A and B are shown apart, each in its own frame.
Chain A
């Protein structure tokens, strides 16, 4: 709950509320990808995060 509050606050301060639905969709897709693959090891040469 606190996470959602902080995320909402962040989006408001950054004036990026339009990202909220996209984040929701990405969370769902991300969740599905976890279920589908079962592994979260990323074979990046360079991870940009």
Chain B
């Protein structure tokens, strides 16, 4: 039985196809539409999923939407009623949207399915709706390697729920406790994302990256005024500081007074205050996550924990949780945000609606390394490259690995597009830019000449699983780059007081370890462990680099520029390659060198995408 899961109409639309509980394909719409965080109906993702499985629309038993629109509307109405007459502006803006489209979402979805896959199927009858946090919980539990686990989902808000504790056993999954809107850990983080001048639902990871530059000086202020946290980790906001329930912004004037000024203007220069605020909200978030985890462990006696929801993408908090050793095992859904809701909705239908037996992949998980997106054959790659006017060489797999490893050791920045695209926000060696982590110049070069992004942001390492404990204070699997750990003491360099007092970019570029390009200012690194079983080619490349240099890790950053969705096709890859100062590009067995290319194909890529 084929089930199609869909998430759409909020942000990060996606589609996922499962067959008898096995995940066949999943992709986010932004990768096809080239619109970052695309919220539209996932036409392209759905077509891709069906093509990947080589099935016709008639084969789909059900289409499952990742949340319940009526329940969301109920929350919206009750919130406006509770705050009335405050909130009229927001009400006046949102009601027409609901009356026109959102309230009739089932019809809208059926119409969109007809547009996408034709009218041979009565799509209206095929639709099912899963609750938002059940979708998240299912995406975390069912693919995990655990027969039984506690499941914690934390995000901004679904219908009513913002945080949920569920228990999973075999094929069963039941939500035991919930925290409801407006009290939300995700929205707390988003409020500070807004206040520090970044985009909500997009810039949260920048706040996380900024936090190590600051001191958590405002943590007490946050705890004393904004959020009351109980012993069990449950929390409650003082809504007089927030504006998101009734207004058009996240925070209000009272919030501004508490933190000594208005929100930072987007793209204006960052000051120590923003860094301290970032450090503070990060600390408060970590403390709450740990408190909740302790409570869950005590209440349930479970030794396994599964995580999903946007907050589960906060890998620094995940690292802090891991170091507490509250649970023996932690598994985090790589597409923890709303895109992964499509996967969870489909899985929840299979196991909870159809009551089917569960298959558990105990050796790793059932995500197939999260390489669930499109891939391209040699013929397809060659045809696209020719159409782009590219100059390329076709090599053997061994030849490609040797050449790329040599280029890496020669401090070249390389675009690496191989196999199936990743599902989830991280590039994991299929759509990545890779480089030598030992190079003291690499971070600057990648930030300013390749990624065109903010200077304070660090890069992450892909490290061979078998060597991770030699380089980092970590000896577990982290295949989805969702854990942060520090670089081992013996790999670090001492830093002078003068160097330590540097600010922002200058502080980041101090050589702190033998792998400076991936070492953040607090010696932390966001680790991806690379496994032979799930990505043999990437593993072979890093192994070759290790053989040549003694370094079993490479810099891995997503293959895109700031504001651009990660590349999907060979054409996207070639355009990004030509628009940036990447030195080489490897697509399948094809290698492209920048100097060989026709210079007239170069385009200004720096300002091409709206800043994120």
Q: Which residues of A contact B (CB under 8 A)?
A: 3, 6-7, 10, 14, 16, 19, 22-23, 26-27, 29-31, 33-34, 37, 40, 42-49
Give the 10 A-B residue pairs with the shortest CB-CB distance, closest first.
A30-B99, A30-B95, A34-B96, A40-B96, A42-B93, A10-B70, A46-B200, A33-B96, A45-B249, A40-B97
For the complex, give the distance between the alpha carbons of A42 and B99 in Å.
13
Chain B residues near A10 (CB-CB < 8 A): 70-71
**Can you name 13 extra interface pairs (CB under 8 A) apart from A3-B107, A31-B99, A49-B10?**
A3-B106, A7-B70, A10-B70, A16-B74, A19-B77, A27-B99, A30-B96, A33-B99, A40-B96, A42-B93, A46-B201, A48-B181, A49-B72
Q: With both chains docked as a complex, state the minimum distance between the C-beta of B94 and any C-beta of chain A, in angstroms.
A: 6
If A48-B79, A48-B245 touch, whether A29 touches B201 (CB-CB below 8 Å) is no
For the complex, give the distance between the alpha carbons of A42 and B102 in Å.
13
Which applies to chain A's interface (DSSP): helix, strand, loop or mixed?
helix
If A6-B106, A43-B248 touch, whether A48 touches B76 (CB-CB below 8 Å) is yes
- Which residues in window 97-113 of B have CB below 8 A to A? 97-104, 106-107
State whether the Cβ of B591 lies closer than 8 Å to any Cβ in chain A: no
For the complex, give the distance between the alpha carbons of A24 and B414 in Å.
59
- Which residues in window 180-198 of B have CB below 8 A to A? 181, 187, 190, 194
If A19-B77, A30-B98, A30-B99 touch, whether A45 touches B194 (CB-CB below 8 Å) is yes
Contact pick for A3, options B104, B245, B248, CB 8 Å: B104
State whether the Cβ of B317 lies closer than 8 Å to any Cβ in chain A: no
Chain A residues near B95 (CB-CB < 8 A): 26, 29-30, 33
Minimum CB distance partner of B79 in chain A: A48
Residues of chain B at interface, number, CB under 8 A: 39
If A33-B92, A34-B96, A40-B96 touch, whether A26 touches B77 (CB-CB below 8 Å) is yes
Q: Is the CB of B76 within 8 A of A44?
A: no
Contact pick for A44, options B78, B93, B100, B104, CB 8 Å: B93
State whether the Cβ of B386 lies closer than 8 Å to any Cβ in chain A: no
Chain B residues near A7 (CB-CB < 8 A): 70
Chain A residues near B72 (CB-CB < 8 A): 49
Chain A residues near B10 (CB-CB < 8 A): 47, 49
Q: Is the CB of A45 within 8 A of B94?
A: no
Minimum CB distance partner of A43 in chain B: B248
For the complex, give the distance between the alpha carbons of A7 and B99 in Å.
14
Chain A residues near B76 (CB-CB < 8 A): 48-49
26 A-B pairs, CB-CB below 8 angstroms? A6-B70, A6-B106, A10-B70, A16-B74, A19-B77, A19-B78, A26-B95, A29-B95, A30-B96, A30-B99, A33-B92, A34-B96, A34-B99, A37-B96, A43-B93, A44-B93, A44-B94, A45-B200, A45-B248, A46-B187, A46-B244, A48-B76, A48-B244, A49-B10, A49-B97, A49-B98
Q: With both chains docked as a complex, state the minimum distance between the C-beta of B337 and any C-beta of chain A, in angstroms.
A: 15
Q: Is the CB of B100 within 8 A of A34?
A: yes
For the complex, give the distance between the alpha carbons of A37 and B489 in Å.
62
Q: Is the CB of B157 within 8 A of A48?
A: yes
Chain B residues near A40 (CB-CB < 8 A): 96-97, 100-101
For the complex, give the distance between the alpha carbons of A33 and B94 in Å.
10
- Which residues in window 55-89 of B have CB below 8 A to A? 70-74, 76-79, 81
Q: With both chains docked as a complex, state the minimum distance between the C-beta of B281 and any C-beta of chain A, in angstroms.
A: 16
State whether the Cβ of B401 lies closer than 8 Å to any Cβ in chain A: no
If A46-B190, A46-B249 touch, whether A19 touches B74 (CB-CB below 8 Å) is yes
Q: Is the CB of A46 within 8 A of B250?
A: yes
For the complex, give the distance between the alpha carbons of A27 and B104 in Å.
12
For the complex, give the distance between the alpha carbons of A21 and B190 in Å.
34
For the complex, give the distance between the alpha carbons of A47 and B48 in Å.
29
Q: Which interface residue of A23, A27, A30, A37 has the most chain B CB atoms within 10 A?
A: A30
Chain A residues near B81 (CB-CB < 8 A): 22
For the complex, give the distance between the alpha carbons of A6 and B96 in Å.
21
Q: Is the CB of B107 within 8 A of A42?
A: no
Chain B residues near A42 (CB-CB < 8 A): 93-94, 97
